[in-house]
Amino acid sequence: MSLLYENIKSDRNKARKLGFRDDLATVNMVIDRIQKKEKEIGRELEDKDIVSLVQTFDKQLNEEKQGYLDRGNNERVKYIEDSQDMIALYIPKQLEESEIRDVVEDAIHKLASDGLQIGLVMKEVMKRVDGIADKKLTSQIVKEEVNKYA
């Protein structure tokens, strides 16, 4: 069992003992997603897989929160924000846009002699930032930076 999964299970037990029902519900949702994914793929998830799964869950919560914001359901928005605060414990700090740009520029300089192809640059960048940078933003920055040299 991965260290991160052990930490999540430990947090569930703490929430249960302390009577934190909302935290318990959130952690149980994360554990449920992990167990379903493990069953689907037939093996235990590694930490990086769990981080990716939790990041996806966080994005889904953002979409759900936006729907409640649009309808003015502030109580539900607060509940979702509290859930996001809880699962943020399992997600590494994400790189800022400027930090991603630095990695992209470094990759471009490293690959300049091979010819700048977006796919090659993206592959090199993702080796360095996978799990700690938003993939959509990273892809956008790679395209912008490579096109500067085109």
Taking the complete model, does pTM exceed 0.85, yes or no?
no
Same-domain pairing of 84 and 10: yes
Same-domain pairing of 81 and 110: no
Same-domain pairing of 18 and 61: yes
The CATH number for 42's domain is: 1.10.1510.10
pLDDT at 134: 86
Query: Structural domain of residue 39, as residue ranges?
Result: 3-90
Instruction: Answer whether residue 148 shows pLDDT above 90.
Output: no
Same-domain pairing of 104 and 55: no
Total number of domains constituting the chain: 2
50 vs 71: CA distance, rounded Å:
32
pLDDT in tens, 19-73: 999 999 999 999 999 999 999 999 999 998 999 999 999 999 999 999 999 999 9
Same-domain pairing of 21 and 70: yes
